[in-house]
Structure 1
């Protein structure tokens, strides 16, 4: 016999289900509200804490210090580098003592007797640069006997990304021949902090055609790069001479009737290079600002050898364009004779211990 299901039990079941859902929803809302409130309190407290710390501590600096003092970096980079620096300094001191002690003593004594305050300073600086050239690049200078001693002359050189070779050249000539090469530089160098004293002591000038011709007529030796910053920024390891339409040096040499000596340093583009990307962008930026903003990289210990070519004398009725092209051809000839093209960094470092047959020195 079937027993009818009570009506009240169905109503009870429906009411119980509704009550259970409402209770669960209320409990869930209460828990989520409590969690949100706790999260907001934690976030606010953390912000307040960082704000308080940031008033007294540079967080970014502390993170950098933490990275710098990490055990791996400390053990494998910093500590070995300190030993290397001390060895480097020791080598420089001993090199100076071995090769330049008598010259330095004599020049210092002469500068005191003659009252030339900066002469001794130049000798000390030249000795330090020459020691660095010997130690880091095995630097050699060939052809300095071509520099005339009875008249002024103009040294015209190929401009590397950083003209490190020219610094070595100027200081080596000062030490070997006792001759100070006065450099023609870009005017932007005079606005760089800390450089003015160096430029003044070594006789650097921005120069005009008339002032350079007058200086050459007095018997001075001048050094310049017609390519300048443009060549530094936009030539590359193929060693293309980038002079554009520069004629000032040719006009000055013709006006003063002095010889021009082409100068080129092997592997200078392997010591430092410009970033080989976005060349057109950097060219656009340079043409708008005239500032050398293209990034550099390098410092590689490649073999550097500077060659000074035979003097090129201006001939009668020679135009500045013709004379410029003749000097440019002289530099290009030095590049063809002595430079591996395209230049390669690793073989240039190997040249320190073994001369490649690709060279024709």
Structure 2
């Protein structure tokens, strides 16, 4: 039996497998083309920015860039989840602002009080998102209308807490969270004051970058793999098909908005830590909401839902922020900066809308 000659048609099996693997890679590239484009665009722009920067690629410059990008990255992640459902959340900037004002009252005192204050801020953001989800699901109101109303409520709470900018947060927390990993370890007496040999490879990394990775790895990716997370994509692809499949639609919608509120709350908390104050700034809330939508589109998430993800939105945020960083390096007049930003936002949203208009079936976005 061991010397039996294989049939003539058995030989081509391996090449067919190879062709299939090659086809799989092409399919993956096509499905993630927008994300890869956002990553490549960011890398190109950021390289040009550092080549033109008088201080070059240094830890100080990297830390400053990370601090400026983190809050918008979190708000963009918050915006992505409702967009995956096929809607928009116009309250993400307002929720961020509300949590920013709450943090300016609570994140100070003993370590225990600071920890409780941080938990209260994150819970406030999640609660605001939960309310959004309940209004959308049980009130049967379109997300864009429901969140427009709840955004006004969140701004009202922020103004009640901080009629004028002010407040004070823990100074050690402010220093540790807005600098490098080595500074964080030194501030809190960790890893031999930040000089432990095992910490050296990552000591130069900005804390906001590490925090962003932790949020993605510990919060988004586990949630994405749950039934609820997969249901969010199914709803965005075809809600009727998801319903016929017996998926938990209401639970997924409420969870999506709750998670969006949590992400916005993280952004508001960091903004309070970074500025060591709270500010119920309505124009700022609106600007963050608008830029979050642009970040989502640049990152490759479809405005009709069901395709994309928060990781792409992070790179969309980085693209927007690198453009604003370039204004300082290339000395663009302040009066022209809003014009350039507006053109970028218009181009980004137009590209996303054009792709959606060309699609007759949402499933085509996966092909």
TM-score range, shorter chain: under 0.3
Higher relative contact order (CA 8 A, sep 6+): 2
Q: Which has the larger radius of gyration?
A: 1
Provide TM-score, normalisation by structure 1: 0.26
Higher strand share: 1
